[in-house]
Amino acid sequence: MLYRKEREDLCKVVKTMFDRFETNAAGGNVSVRMNENHIIMTPTLMSQAKHCDLNPEEILVVDMQEQKIEGDGKITREINMHMACYRERSDIGCVLHAHPKESMVFATIGMDLPNLTEATQKLGQIPVLPFAPATSMELALIVKEYVASLKEEAIPKTMLLNKHGILVLDKTLRKAYDMLERVEYNAYVAAKALIFDALNIKKMDENKEYQFNLEE
């Protein structure tokens, strides 16, 4: 089996995502760049049919022409969005797409996610991208154009997909999952902070400058 260790690790991560409400039965998919020729990727219907409880044989090995090399299952139609990221920047090592419970509030209403917690400051802005239907080439192009607009900004980067979910770009699978977890906690905090602000319990101080540790 090609990339057995990495495929086993991907199984562990997506199961953790599902168990922690960081994606749902409506979807989500994760890919990891192995080298200049191959990525590994979760199969279509990993959430709906499997509840993200996969075995390594079900993790697909896919080449850069989007052809399956190895694995049980079919390639998700959202591979176009993943490949748009990999082709745009060679330093992207993982593309993680999910439907996390707290962040979905902001994605669904089409609102940029306020970046409030110290643990998420390295991301900078967390924008919501313009709407396009899931799996469409239009959505892949929107993502590609946003990634291109980052130019040489360092990753990790995270963006919300309007009415759809979240996309996390990072160098490794574990780093991407770590960032998903941080963003999801930030979304919980942001939702509560906005309520406190609206009720005049405590106003948000988004414009106040702090010296954050961005190296942890």
Give the tens place of pLDDT for each residue, 59-78.
Answer: 999 999 999 999 999 999 99
Residue 123 to residue 179: CA distance in whole angstroms = 9
* In-domain check, residue 205: no
Range of the domain at 99: 4-198
* In-domain check, residue 66: yes
Q: For the segment 167-192, what is each residue's pLDDT rounded down to a tens digit?
A: 999 999 999 999 999 999 999 999 99
* In-domain check, residue 99: yes
* In-domain check, residue 17: yes
* In-domain check, residue 210: no
Supply the CATH number for residue 25's domain.
Answer: 3.40.225.10
**In the structure, what pLDDT confidence band is assigned to residue 205 with cuts at 50, 70 and 90?**
confident
In a 3-state reduction of DSSP, which class is residue 193? helix
* In-domain check, residue 211: no
* In-domain check, residue 137: yes
CA quadruple 2, 99, 205, 196: dihedral positive or negative? Answer: negative
Q: How many domains does the chain fold into? A: 1
Q: Choose the weakest-confidence range: 58-62, 106-110, 112-116, 150-154.
A: 150-154
Please tell me the predicted confidence (pLDDT) of residue 21.
97
pTM of the model: 0.94
Place of tokens 């199961």: 15
* In-domain check, residue 192: yes
Residue 79 to residue 90: CA distance in whole angstroms = 17
